[in-house]
Structure 1
Amino acid sequence: MLIGYARVSTSGQTLETQIDKLEAAGVEKIFKEKKSGARADAREQLNAMLDYVREGDVVVITKMDRMARSMRDLLNLVAQLDEKGVGLKVLDQAIDTTTPEGKMTYQILGVVSEFELAIRKQRIDDGVARLREQGIEPFKGRPPKIKKEEVEKAIEETGSKAAAAKKLGISRDSVYRVLRQAA
């Protein structure tokens, strides 16, 4: 039996394209979810699919990153499938672990994907280090649009924080945040 697994990371994304491809490949049952792929244990439908599959089944996905976010995760998942006698087909990368060639291709592409992730992480780390050398904190957020003095003056003029917020065109939460951060 062909068993499909489709996943998108956020609720704003759609599963339609993946489902269309899986159905076109002849998949009979599809497990689908909208969850981040960062942690395999948090993906209920992935775990349900792993429990569901039986010897002789083939799990079909559209891309490797739909099932796993790291090479270690992918290797662990494929090992679980292998132990059950279940194959894996990846449609967009033409991988089929039910053949020796497909197994080799899967392993090579997995290593390349892991390498790309490591290179991307290194570039980000280098950029963050460069910014910090220049005295810029990259994860600080944008600077406030309004100064504490302006908020205090508006409170003094209007007599309340709510009225000051209205006068300044900001929320009451912003008034409290500005006063708290600058204290």
Structure 2
Amino acid sequence: MIVGYARTSTLDQVAGIEAQERDLTAAGCEKIFREQVSSVDVAQRDQLALALDFLRDGDTLVVTKLDRLARSVAHMHELLQRITAKGAALKILNMGIDTNTPTGKLMLNVLGGVAEFEREIMLERQREGIAKAKQAGKYKGRVPTAQRKAAEVNALRAEGLGATEIARRLGISRASVYNVSQG
């Protein structure tokens, strides 16, 4: 069976998830697992777990792009081990890679390494840009939401409300309530 997996990073990327589903259907996927959750989010990607559990011997898991599946080269290798342990293969449409072949396995490893390298270079440039902007006084960072609501937090505390209720009313976390209260 050909099984598809589609993922976007946010809920508002409707066109992205629809395009992936269209491409997966065109590739012959009989079942598609989809979710809209960040790859770097600590939250579990439930649909990916279900897709991996669903795979059987002889199946192929299809994704449109490698970054829709794996967070890093190490993560890609972990997922590929799980897929091959079930007797299944991985196919990445935009790269033309199919791990049913030795060449496909080699190319996946090489391209995965290049992708991780590119990401590290991009992050390094981003850090350099932020440092330069800070030196020039142009980068202040995000203003902490809870700190802007310190007066409201303290007023509600003075009324005798608990941290959970204050957090709910102000749309901040309980930890932020405690941080503001003690700060």
Q: TM-score, normalised by structure 2?
A: 0.73
CA contact (8 A) 1:56 1:85 kept: yes
Select which of 74, 77, 80 maps to 1:78. 80
Number of matched residues?
Answer: 143
User: Match for residue 149 of structure 2?
Assistant: none
Match of 1:131 in 2: 133
Distance 1:40 1:6, change over 3 A: farther
For the residues of structure 2 that align with 1:91 and 1:25, how far apart are their CA atoms? 8
Q: Which amino acid in 2 is paired with 1:79?
A: Q
User: 1:27 aligns to what?
Assistant: 29
C-alpha displacement of 1:140: 4.0
Residue pair 1:41, 1:47 contacting (<8 A) in 2 also? no
Counterpart for residue 8 of structure 1: 8
Secondary structure of 2:87's counterpart equals coil
Aligned identity (percent) is: 42
* Corresponding residue number in structure 2 for 1:169: none
The two structures, once aligned, show a CA RMSD in angstroms of 1.9
Which stretches of structure 1, 4 residues or more, deviate above 4 A after TM superposition?
A: none
* CA displacement at 1:37 relative to structure 2: 1.2
Give SS of 1:74's match.
Answer: helix
- Residue 63 of structure 1 is matched in structure 2 by 65
Note the residue ranges of structure 2 that are not aligned, 5 or more in a row: 144-169, 171-179
**Corresponding residue to 1:100 among 92, 99, 102:** 102
| Structure 2 partner of 1:163 | none
CA positional deviation for 1:132: 2.7
Q: TM-score, normalised by structure 1?
A: 0.73
Post-superposition shift, 1:89? Answer: 0.3
Are residues 2 and 132 of structure 1, via their aligned partners in 2, closer, same or farther at CA, if it must alter by over 3 Å?
same
User: Larger Cα Rg: Structure 1 or Structure 2?
Assistant: 1
The answer on whether the counterparts of 1:9 and 1:36 sit within 8 Å (CA) in structure 2 is yes
